[in-house]
Chain A
Amino acid sequence: MASLRSLPWLGAGLGYRGAIHDFLEHERRNLGFLEVMPEHVLEGPHEGRQRLLEMAKSLRVVTHSVSVSVGTAGGADSAFVPRMEQVSRDLAAPWASDHLCFTKVDDRNIGQLTPIPYTNATLKEVERSVKRVQQAMKRPFLLENISAYFRYRQNELTEPEFYQKLVRRTGCGVLLDVNNLRNNAYNLGEDPKRYLDAFPLDHVVQLHLAGSDWEDGKLLDTHGSPIHEEVWALTEQVLELAPVKALLIERDQTFGPLEQLAGELRRAGKMMEAAR
């Protein structure tokens, strides 16, 4: 399997969403890559799936899912992982990713990226789970940090410490969501810079940037707003320290005005080029 360092540099990209198919076609030359959710390929409407696959034929693609659930006690979704690998293989994705969280318990779908406790016992469970996923996947597997809206007071490790130990033990990569760092900082009283310093930045392969909205006094990763300047500034810092191969602008709630999204894509592309 390819080491994280030898993975191809992809530049800036966007996530495939059927609602912006035409826009993605229009922006094709500015797209370094396309991030595809295997769930859309496996379960999406037939017509939409065909359009997605047609576009994916001529672009570099990485896969990013929400269904692996590496944090579930007893292991990740063993039925989903081979299907994800199949999609990743079909699309020639150099890596695949999901989130460090749990979304399923006893086949019950919680429908949310739910935080796991950062304890040594959980670390052992997740380590086993990630290793099994890695065995099933024929490409590097990355884990993304989620926006957490609650935390376990009895955590034995911080989130970055948990990541540090996990990547050392499994060799998995990190998909660092810079917006989630900022959200956690505001919602849970953490310092984003402290997070950046403490994260295993040498394992960061991909970044996610998104917009957030204030709602009920909380900062939500709605993926429906322009990226905040503070997130851009944090991204600059990450790019100085981490061997980032791909930077994704995440948008999947409200897309318009699309000129704004196009502007963010170009800005991200320039940042990636400058840091290359």
Chain B
Amino acid sequence: MSLRSLQRALASVLLDDEARRRFAKDPEAFARRAGLEGRDAALLAGLDAGDVGYFASRRRIDRRAALRADMPLTVAAMEREKAVLRYFRAHPYALEDPLAEAARAAQWAQRAAKRGRASALAADAAAFEAAWLAVRSAPPDAPRKPSPRPRRGASAQVLRLRHDLGEALEDADPAKARRRVCWLVLRHGPDGPEAGEVPEVEARLLRGADGKRSAAALVASVARAARVPAEDARRGLEGLAQEALVSPLRPASSPRRAATRARAR
């Protein structure tokens, strides 16, 4: 039991900035407050606060390896510009959930790219790899009932990237990325996670397919934003429905049909 108490106290010193500060200030008092006595208190209090602090900071070495395992292209791109250390300085401790850590790294990369502290390629790689992790971890999209208000699959994510990452992702080699704006859709389909490029109109339709707007309103809005004929947007939406990327389309009820249905009840 005492070894457990010692390890609990040490874990808090390693993982918690405030605990580490209190430990560095007065190791013996820290050990007492942690409920340690005798030899166990002496073992903890006898640790060099500087060495322990250094060890805690060293977490970034292991953290880099963990991040690389989940986001190989991102880390490769960020390492070229020494952005990994900048990310770690901005967020000294990893989140325990790898998905949350990946999402935070992607958000940081986006912000850093806007400020010129990371490349657009690093931001694109992070956006893709974080989204891929999330999609892979999500359950496969269940078939949806027909609806007049199209809704995309629960796992679907839409990305606008400034690079074609296809080959770069295969080899985790940033040099193989090509500058080109592309819209990607990722989802956990019936056969597993998948990612593919779609035309801008379809990407915008998917983004807007939140189950709140009617198909007609969505088509009109996307046609305006993408400056395409409404007919093109409508065909795009039908195509997405056929591919089960959005719920199957059902015509909206007219006031007369709704009234008839109400009388029948």
Q: Which residues of B contact A112 (CB under 8 A)?
A: 14, 55, 58-59, 62
Are A154 and B46 also in contact (CB < 8 A) when A112-B14, A149-B51, A254-B79 are? yes
Asked whether any CB of chain B lies closer than 8 Å to the CB of A233, the reply is no
Interface residues of A in 51-108 (CB under 8 A from B): 72-74, 102, 105-106, 108
Asked whether any CB of chain B lies closer than 8 Å to the CB of A125, the reply is yes
Interface residues of B in 1-16 (CB under 8 A from A): 1-4, 6-8, 10-11, 14-15
Interface residues of chain B: helix, strand, loop or mixed (majority): helix
CA distance A154 to B47 in the complex (A): 9
Q: Which residues of B contact A106 (CB under 8 A)?
A: 4, 8
Q: Are B65 and A253 in contact (CB under 8 A)?
A: yes
Contact of A154 among B2, B39, B66 (CB under 8 A): B39
Q: Are B8 and A109 in contact (CB under 8 A)?
A: no
Asked whether any CB of chain B lies closer than 8 Å to the CB of A218, the reply is yes
Interface residues of B in 80-112 (CB under 8 A from A): 94, 96
Asked whether any CB of chain A lies closer than 8 Å to the CB of B264, the reply is no
Q: Are A110 and B11 in contact (CB under 8 A)?
A: yes
How distant is A45 from chain B, measured CB to nearest CB, in Å? 7
Contact of B52 among A119, A150, A221 (CB under 8 A): A150
Interface residues of A in 29-43 (CB under 8 A from B): 40
CA distance A72 to B1 in the complex (A): 11
Are A222 and B47 also in contact (CB < 8 A) when A19-B172, A254-B79 are? no
Q: Are A73 and B3 in contact (CB under 8 A)?
A: yes
Are A45 and B136 also in contact (CB < 8 A) when A19-B68, A253-B64 are? yes
CA distance A120 to B32 in the complex (A): 22
Asked whether any CB of chain B lies closer than 8 Å to the CB of A152, the reply is yes
Q: Are A46 and B136 in contact (CB under 8 A)?
A: yes
Q: Which residues of B contact A252 (CB under 8 A)?
A: 65, 68
Q: Are A153 and B46 in contact (CB under 8 A)?
A: yes
Q: Are B58 and A109 in contact (CB under 8 A)?
A: no
CA distance A257 to B171 in the complex (A): 15
Q: Which residues of A contact B193 (CB under 8 A)?
A: 46
Interface size class of B (residues with CB under 8 A): 35 or more
Asked whether any CB of chain A lies closer than 8 Å to the CB of B192, the reply is yes
Q: Are A108 and B11 in contact (CB under 8 A)?
A: yes
CB nearest neighbor in A for B49:
A150
Contact of A73 among B7, B14, B52, B136 (CB under 8 A): B7
From A45, A74, A150, name the one whose CB has the most chain B CB atoms within 10 angstroms. A150
CA distance A108 to B4 in the complex (A): 12
- Digit string of A113-146 for contact with B (CB within 8 Å is 1, else 0)? 1100101011001000000000000000000000
CA distance A252 to B10 in the complex (A): 27
How distant is B135 from chain A, measured CB to nearest CB, in Å? 11
Interface residues of B in 48-72 (CB under 8 A from A): 48, 51-52, 54-55, 58-59, 61-66, 68-69, 72
Q: Which residues of A contact B48 (CB under 8 A)?
A: 150
Asked whether any CB of chain A lies closer than 8 Å to the CB of B252, the reply is no
Q: Are A154 and B136 in contact (CB under 8 A)?
A: no
CA distance A30 to B103 in the complex (A): 39
22 contacts between A and B (CB under 8 A): A73-B4, A74-B4, A102-B7, A105-B11, A108-B15, A109-B96, A112-B58, A112-B59, A117-B3, A117-B43, A121-B2, A121-B3, A121-B39, A122-B3, A125-B3, A149-B58, A150-B48, A150-B55, A220-B61, A221-B61, A222-B61, A253-B61
Interfacial residues, chain B to chain A (CB-CB below 8 A): 1-4, 6-8, 10-11, 14-15, 39, 42-43, 46-48, 51-52, 54-55, 58-59, 61-66, 68-69, 72, 76, 79, 94, 96, 136, 171-172, 192-193
Sorted nearest first, the 5 A-B pairs with minimum C-beta distance are A150-B51, A73-B4, A153-B46, A73-B3, A149-B55
